[in-house]
Structure formats: C-alpha cells, structure tokens
C-alpha cells in the first residue's frame, strides 16, 4: 500500500498506508489523524478535510474542479496549495505524498 504523511500544523507527522482507490480524507479518518474531520463524509460539501498539497505534488493530484473551488471558499486560510482531501484518490503515483494540515478547519 502507498504511504502518505499527514503533517499537523504543529509539525506532528502521521505516516499511514492508504489503499489505492481510497480518498486521502478517508485514509486520515480511518487512522484518526487529528485535524481532518470530514463532516460531510467525502461529498465535497463542507471543507472540513482541507489540506495543503506541496507544489511538487500538485500535478499528480489532478486539478481542483469547480465544485471543490467553491467549497474551498469556506475553508480557513486557503492558498494555491489548498485541496479538499476527499477529492484526492490514492494511487501508486502518490506514494510518498506529504500533505500539510491547516491550523484549523473553519
């Protein structure tokens, strides 16, 4: 299984095996990573799974769709690296991905 590292705002790291086909949000919820809430269950409706994807990984995570862009308007401290982790599906090309969590979700 490919590994993903979730880095909390305080620097705490969680290295998790996320199965291919599983969203990064669901991977975090399965292992109770603090800072990922996923209130809407992955329906791209709440922005409580906001993460930052480093620029060097952005292309491999695909582009933000219009719905995701709209929902991100409700997230805390959004920037060009912002993504909703429910919209990024794990696959082998993302093995080793490191994502960063905001200080808060809303």
**C-alpha span between 37 and 48 (Å, rounded):** 5
Nearest to 93 by CA among 68, 56, 51, 50: 56
Whether residue 3 is predicted with pLDDT greater than 90 in this model: the reply is yes
Whether residue 106 is predicted with pLDDT greater than 90 in this model: the reply is no
pLDDT averaged over every residue in the chain: 96
Q: Among 58-62, 69-73, 81-85, 90-94, which is the least confidently predicted range? A: 58-62
Q: Which CATH architecture has domain 3-100?
A: Roll (3.10)
Question: Per-residue pLDDT tens for 27-56?
Answer: 999 999 999 999 999 999 999 999 999 999
Nearest to 35 by CA among 19, 24, 22: 24
């Amino acid at each position: 299984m490919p590994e993903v590292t979730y880095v909390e705002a305080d620097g705490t790291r969680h290295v998790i095996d996320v199965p291919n086909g599983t969203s990064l949000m669901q991977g975090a919820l399965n292992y109770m990573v603090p800072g990922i809430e996923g209130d809407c269950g992955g329906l791209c409706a709440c922005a409580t799974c906001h993460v930052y994807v480093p620029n060097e990984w952005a292309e491999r995570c695909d582009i933000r769709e219009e719905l995701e862009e709209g929902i991100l308007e409700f997230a805390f401290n959004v920037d060009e690296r912002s993504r909703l982790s429910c919209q990024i599906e794990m696959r082998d090309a993302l093995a080793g991905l490191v994502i960063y969590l905001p200080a808060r979700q809303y």
